[in-house]
Every structure is written in C-alpha cells, then in structure tokens.
Amino acid sequence: MAKLDKSVRERTDQLDALGNTTAATGKGFAIGSAALTALALLAAYLEEIIDTLKVSVSQFMSYYDVTLMNPKVLIGLFMGAAMAFYFCALTMKAVGRSAGAMVEEVRRQFREKPGIMRGEEKPDYARCVEISTVGAQREMILPSLIALVVPVAVGLIFDVAGVLGLLAGGLTTGFVLAIMMANAGGAWDNAKKFIEEGKHKDEYGEKGSEQHKATIVGDTVGDPFKDTSGPSLNILIKLMSMVSSCSLVS
C-alpha cells in the first residue's frame, strides 16, 4: 500500500518471522509465571488454613479426602480441564465474529466510497478501530464471567475437594494448552512466510499453490491461537486461583 521497494517487504517478513519466534518464547515465560503464581496462591491459602487450624498438611488432605478416589476431586479435575478448552473455544469464536464484522465494514466502505481503491478518498479508519475495540470488550464478558462463576459454583457444590481438583485440572491443562497454542500459532505463521519466500518451491510449493493455501488456513487459525486464546489462558489460570482462594476462605 505504501508502494515501497520489494526488498522492504522481504526484510519486514524476516523481522515478522523472527518476532513470532521471540514472542512464543516470551509467552512461554508468561504462562510459566501464571502457573507458578497459581501454585503460590494455593500454597499460601493452604498454609494460612493449616496455621489457623493447627493441623498438618496430611491431616488437612485427609479431612477433606483430597484423593483421586474421591468423586468430587475427579469432577473438579475434569471441569478444570474442560474449562481451559471451553475458554479457548469462546475466545476463538469471538475473534471470528469480530473479524466478520470488520470484513463487512471494509466491504461497505468500498461500496460506498469507490474512490478508496483509486486513492481519491480516505477510508474511515475510526469506524474500524471502534469495531475492534467494542467487539473485544463485548466478547470477553462471557469468558470472564465463566472464570469468576465456575470456581464459586464448584466450591458451593463440591466443597474444598472439588475446588482443589478444579484448580489442578485447570492449571495442568491450561499450562500445556497455552504453550501449544503459542508455539503452534507462530509456527503456522512462519510456515506461510517460508513458502512465500519461494526458496524451496520444488519441495514445498510456491505462492498460490495448494501448499500455500493450506498454510494460509493455518495462519488464519494460528493468529488467534498465539495472540488471543493462548495468552488469555494466563489470566484464566490466575483468576481461577484467586477466586478459588477467596471462595475457600469464605
């Protein structure tokens, strides 16, 4: 769009590919931090309760029957694991709806302002920014409510054993899922750029080939993977731990 030299695009593509790898590394540290924070919150809660009741850890676990043979713990584990996937599904679908609204707005502007394509009129950038901002805020209401309500509901129904199972399931599954999403999303993006470079077109195809079309699909899924669902799992893990601790204390 800026009508710059072709070499500029080649350099920015290389920077983008490097940025995807660097970002995946940074997100790995971030999700590791979220996991450690969740463990620290849980440990702090247990230590406070144990000091108050003057009991040992084994006595605390025995009293609430925190074992894999307890159905409440197993239900909590499965709910925590399912929450991570359900949360990611909600955020992925939210990105799709917001992107669809953006596409419709761009098409509308092209229809009503044909001079945009000829460089005679300027697009309404403010409207596009408004769609993305309002969409992001509105679409995150349901995922946020789930992260707040589910730990409280599990605590009321399945008591402490269920909440501990919920935290364990959400922590383990959310950690692995977030790492996978951050790395897979960046890899799919870089795969598309790798084919577009055309250096190994005999082996991997070139721009416009079936392989390239497949990498475009992968990149389309990979963007919300690495930029939306993966990073948001950090918040889910931390929020669940904090709400669970508060509900357990109450």
Find the mean pLDDT for residues 211-226: 89
Buried b (16+ CB within 10 A) or exposed e, 96-110: eebbeeeeebbeebe
What residue type is assigned to position 61 of the chain? M
CA neighbor of 231 nearest in space, from 167, 140, 168: 140
Considering the entire predicted model, what is its pTM?
A: 0.82
Question: pLDDT at residue 35 above 90?
Answer: no
For the stretch 95-152, pLDDT in tens is 889 889 999 999 999 998 888 888 788 888 999 999 989 988 898 899 889 989 999 9
**pLDDT for position 248:** 63
For the stretch 145-193, pLDDT in tens is 998 999 999 988 998 889 889 988 998 999 999 999 988 888 888 888 8
Question: pLDDT at residue 80 above 90?
Answer: yes
CA 25 to chain CA mean position, Å: 15
72-to-66, 77, 142, 145 alpha-carbon distances in Å:
9, 9, 26, 23
C-alpha 245/C-alpha 160 separation (Å) is 10
C-alpha 3/C-alpha 239 separation (Å) is 46
Mean pLDDT score across all residues of the chain: 86
